[in-house]
Chains A and B, each alone.
Chain A
Amino acid sequence: EPEVTQTPSHQVTQMGQEVILRCVPISNHLYFYWYRQILGQKVEFLVSFYNNEISEKSEIFDDQFSVERPDGSNFTLKIRSTKLEDSAMYFCASSETAGGPYNEQFFGPGTRLTVL
């Protein structure tokens, strides 16, 4: 069964450093998403991406964040200058279409980002 994959599974970085989290969405999916989950809290929407553009972003997704689909398979989340409060699990998700019934998002296993 096709699945969303994410690398690395765990990233440790120093405050102020740049990190890139990578995702490979399901191959026939066209809509891509990033969510984050701070330890012990709920999963929060960050950004949605379609046709090489951001479709929607949350208040969390400030200028320190960017997303890119550099090739036909990868979808990346970059944090330019990490802060301690960026420590969280980051989940990538993808779906065939957006909205509407029966077009659900499938989540990857996540990348645990630890900022020291």
Chain B
Amino acid sequence: GQQLNQSPQSMFIQEGEDVSMNCTSSSIFNTWLWYKQEPGEGPVLLIALYKAGELTSNGRLTAQFGITRKDSFLNISASIPSDVGIYFCAGRDDKIIFGKGTRLHILP
């Protein structure tokens, strides 16, 4: 079946640092999504990517859809404490296939 490999599994960074996380897929998706999940809540959509090579920003977040449609990265610039959470990449045709997530910890 379709699988997404997300790395790293967890990150510990200092407040103010930039963050980068990656996702690769065993198959092509038409749409790539990045979600954030905080404890006890549902996934919240951060960025959606629709075109191969597309680079999209949402505030301090930047994501790119790989040319092959089988990979993506998410960057967070100048991290702040509220960035803490689990970041999931996901591929969507109709249903959404989620990666295993990157848990972001921010050290004071």
List chain A positions with a Cβ less than 8 A from chain B: 4, 33, 35, 41-45, 48, 55-56, 58, 91, 93, 98-102, 104-110, 112
Q: A42-B88, A43-B88, A99-B30 are in contact. Are A105 and B96 (CB under 8 A)?
A: yes
- Beyond A93-B96, A108-B42: 4 further Cβ-contacts under 8 Å? A4-B42, A58-B95, A104-B33, A106-B45
CB pair A55–B44 under 8 Å, yes or no, is no
**Contact B93 A107, beta carbon cutoff 8 Å:** no
B28 within 8 A of A: no
22 intermolecular pairs with C-beta atoms under 8 Å apart: A33-B95, A33-B96, A41-B100, A42-B98, A43-B96, A44-B98, A45-B96, A55-B94, A56-B95, A91-B43, A93-B42, A98-B94, A99-B93, A101-B30, A101-B48, A101-B50, A102-B50, A105-B96, A110-B40, A110-B41, A110-B42, A112-B40
When each residue 23-54 of chain B gets 1 if its CB lies under 8 Å from chain A and 0 otherwise, what string results? 00000001101000100111111001010000
**Interface residues, chain B, with chain A CB atoms under 8 Å away:** 30-31, 33, 37, 40-45, 48, 50, 88, 92-101
A9 CB to closest chain B CB, in angstroms? Answer: 8
Q: Is the CB of A43 within 8 A of B98?
A: yes
Contact of B42 among A44, A45, A48, A109 (CB under 8 A): A109
A35 to B95, CA, bound (A): 10
Known: A45-B95, A56-B94, A101-B50. A107 touches B43 (CB 8 A): yes
Q: Say how far A41's CB is from chain B's closest CB, in angstroms.
A: 7
Residues of A within 8 A of B101 (CB): 42
Q: How far is the CA of A48 from the CA of B37 in the complex (A)?
A: 21
Q: Residue of A at shortest CB range from B48?
A: A104
Q: Which residue on A lies nearest to B33, using beta carbons?
A: A104
Closest chain A CB from B37 CB (angstroms): 8
| In the A-B complex, the 7 residue pairs with the closest CB atoms | A107-B42, A101-B50, A43-B98, A45-B95, A42-B100, A42-B98, A98-B94
- In the complex, the answer to whether B99 meets A42 with C-beta atoms within 8 Å is yes
Q: A74 to chain B: closest CB distance in Å?
A: 18
Smallest CB-CB separation from A3: which chain B residue?
B42
